[in-house]
Structure 1
Amino acid sequence: MNNELNDDTNKGSSILIVDDNPKNLQVLASILRTSNYKVAMVKDGAKAIKFISSRKPDLILLDIMMPELDGFEVCQKLKQSKTSKDIPIIFISALSETEDKVKGFEAGGVDYITKPFQQQEVLARVKTHLDLRNAYKKLKQAYKDIEIAAKTDSMTKLSNRLDIIEKIKYEQRKYQRSGNPFSLILSDIDNFKLFNDKYGHDCGDFILIAVADIIKSGIRKQDTAARWGGEEFLILLPETDKPGGESTAIKIRERLISKTFEYNEHPHKISMTFGISTFNGQGIDNCIKMADEALYKGKTSGKNCIVLSD
């Protein structure tokens, strides 16, 4: 029976029992331990709240009739806290009237077990809500992964165009409140077509990833680097003026030209050209355009350089 009511997914899950009756604590703990759950016990609501502030169980079995704080009050307090609001709570009580069960659900409980306890029922209800909790966590992670994928360039793992545009708009709103400028660096790998034509597109991909890593190592935590398209990269530098943008570009350029990248036993030297603009209320499109024009000026004047917009 126990194997049917538990599985490897829930094995080792932690359960907190809250009841002022020592006999009830021992009975429930004994039932739960037959299915290899980790059990903790406290005798009142205040101790339960204190326990959960430092250790977060996977599920709570909560008695209703307790001194000082009853189960309904404890449940409401836990559901109001960010750290405990997602923990499923099953009420345990000798109260079996419909209105008591409804009150428990309204307080935030997910289920209701009446005393005296039946082992099979306890294990079945516990397993059901642990399964639901695990499924919910997996679903949240899946949505998070999808959101990250939608904002990330799959090859370089940098932000994509959509993500950095959102972040630039956010910096624009900050500028409207504070007046602090931000800078953009638009950069392009010099002679990138030669890597693809001479060594193949796999080599080109290797170069893109290597450049992305160099860029990430040369910016601050609050900065954002994105693959703008092809071999172009756009870097957003919040609260940074033009000299600050130039300083960042110099750091990235120096790291690139000082390193030799080896692909299939062929050494490669990589250089980039950088165009820098600073936002001072001229509009996002114009700011990007100014960085692009500075980049173009650098490309036509010999490459491997840094050009500041007018």
Structure 2
Amino acid sequence: MAIPIYHPAELPQRQAEKYPNKTILKYHDRTSKQWKHITWSKFATDVMNVAKALAEIGLEAGDRVGIYSQNMVKYLYAELGAFAMRGVVVPLYATSSPEQLRFIIEDAAVETLFVGEQFQYNNAYHVQKECKTLKRIIIFDEHVVLNPDDRTSKFFSEFVRLGDSMPNETKAKVCTREAVPSDLALIIYTSGTSGRSKGVQIMHSNLMHQMQAHANAIPVYGPSETSISFLPLSHVFENTWTLFCLTTGTRIAILSDPKKILEALPQVRPTAMCNVPRFWEKVYQGVNEKIASSPRLLQGIYRR
């Protein structure tokens, strides 16, 4: 059966209508040390709550929304919430320096910035004091300690409450219905190894084409599959793969700390994941080291 390709602005709501109680996301809760599950219904609701809050602050179609964070569930809420309002998402690597952050914020004219944890908040607040472009910072991690002089930043939970009204919900739903494939979706900045970083513009039509091409190439994907997201969502590779998983209903385990990937693999037991060659090389090297340290008889069996 052909997989329907929805505009990313309406994707969460359309999937929630069909699969309200199916798990789509998993994340590791650092308090309970357990993997928590999120259904399509909750995912769509939280995405809409972000859209409503963005409506409250007056976000217009084409306005830039930055996300400066490691992989988190709230990252996806922010990105897809911005898409629902026809905003343009500007992802930034969680390790970016204040200088890199300031350049991208000013170059892309980012007014609203979502940040992950203390490191990102500290850098963002430092940049905000020197940059006229950035108006507000929204913080994912509730454990972040705010600067005593900070009067404008809000925690994510506080921010989404701003949009809790019927007019904001109506505006968000109208924007979602008006979204078209030709809208600009992302501005992803290059590494800048040969000079200043350059913002690459990606349309929703580009993303939708990738969803269709991947669905044609690997049609087995669906709710019975599980992927793990540990490469940075700020890179187009992981970002688009995650969108493909959402399109096909493939469960996604979000891993915030990429250094814990080997610990997470046996816990999540993904059936698929996107990755870079260096990771597979390290896995291959590790397997060979284990074989080499085994008794000679077992070495032959292992290599066989």
TM-score by length of 2: 0.30
Higher Cα Rg: structure 1 or 2?
Answer: 1
TM-score calculated relative to the size of structure 1 = 0.29
